Copies of this chain bind each other. A is one copy, B any other.
């Protein structure tokens, strides 16, 4: 029996229509280093229509890809809204990819147009000749100065291109399951792989961002989006803010602690989202340059685990609640959010807040063991996290990656446990976990223990082959200058911190841990250096 409900698609055009009318007075603020550019959502709505007309004029039709190579700013917001609303597909290029990765993803997505910020031209220019499908480069602002493009590419200034276009556009009705936006993951194995979000998935995810068991973004909030728009859709903040009537505060390229502090003082955000590194840097700066940042009530932190000390200091010093969250590009990205259960207090409350959080109704989670068995959610049993839901990817764009999926569920590659009431605690990545004599050793736990030693700057732990135990941990340590710690003293330091059978016997002192393009430990490279005999290993 069919329902009698209207067949109204969930689509970005509706977010655009709603935000630019009902919430037309909300604003997007773009930081300029010493001040701000301001634009109301009503203006954004009109400029989105102009941008859509301009792109149509350049021949963008059907589901062609329009890429951005941009910081977080008002024009990036316009591209977020206008490109999908007109039926085309937004591709947010990660400005931190290695050149060969950037070339790969732009060609793989067949980008027709790239919108770029002037300050990023030095990063884009060298690759332009190898971007085989790009026909147009649009530089934000008034000028095309600084573009170095091959003759086959037409170059436009954003403001001139949209000027005098109509401020009305007849946004088409789209199939809600069609692609709206693409983002490539910056994984450490192989080429980056693309995820294509649908109108439906973005719409539903935006609702979740405004739900009380999610970030609970609300009308009137001033949301500081530090997490880049080229990274997992800025965690969905731009769309959710437009949907609910929260203003957006965009830092553009000013992501260092000092300008961020100035932005906080000037624009008084009530909500913010960023990775832990940003908040650590800001906290250190504020210790030396005290400033009231108590306008911020909630700060969403994810991307990697948040040090509990950071959560405490933000609450104690600034009255800010840190919302720990988990997600990935493949999950839109939310994921779980660590709101403690109502009624919990004190240490119990903190215990919940340290976790990666609780899943909402739309994200089903399960744990899978070594032999494919489903494991209990008892808060103790550890397995690989798999997730399912309407905003979780079920494939990668144009790539066969069947091993990343399991009967319709996404294999996250994360390892952890889930409590009966749905709270996730991650302990490692599947590819980094060390399988020793049938037991699992968390490389992350070992790293954290080693990094607790005052002489240790960085520590990365990988599994190495062992004839008796299959695998045993190898600890690669970066020591502070002038330290006299040795593998022996470090192992001694660990002896009362980890279980005896986990105590690592393989150690190597290195000058630096190799990093990926987004600054994470590149254990793949470390493993390959080990296998090539490039590490000087002490065996205790």
Contacts and interface: CB of A to CB of B under 8 A. Distances in A.
A341 B17 contact: no
A319 to B, nearest CB: 19
A153 to B, nearest CB: 23
A68 interface: no
Contacts of A9: 390
A28 to B, nearest CB: 17
Contacts of A19: 361
A540 interface: no
Interface residues of A, number: 75
A483 interface: no
Interface of A: 1-10, 14-15, 17-19, 21-25, 63, 89, 177-180, 194-198, 200-201, 204, 207-208, 210-213, 216-221, 243-245, 339, 341-343, 358-362, 364, 377, 388-397, 408, 410, 420-422
A198 B5 contact: yes
**What's the number of copies of this chain in the assembled complex?**
2
A201 B210 CA distance: 18
A421 B339 CA distance: 32
A70 to B, nearest CB: 22
Contact of A212 (B5, B22, B210, B360): B210
Name, among A3, A197, A362, A393, the residue most crowded by chain B CB atoms within 10 Å (CB to CB): A3
Nearest to A199: B3
A355 B194 CA distance: 46
Contact of A422 (B14, B22, B342, B390): B22
Contact of A361 (B4, B18, B341, B394): B18
A244 B196 contact: no
A22 B359 contact: yes
9 contacts: A1-B178, A2-B198, A3-B177, A3-B178, A4-B179, A5-B177, A5-B198, A14-B361, A21-B377
Contacts of A18: 360-361, 364
Contacts of A195: 4
B408 A6 contact: yes
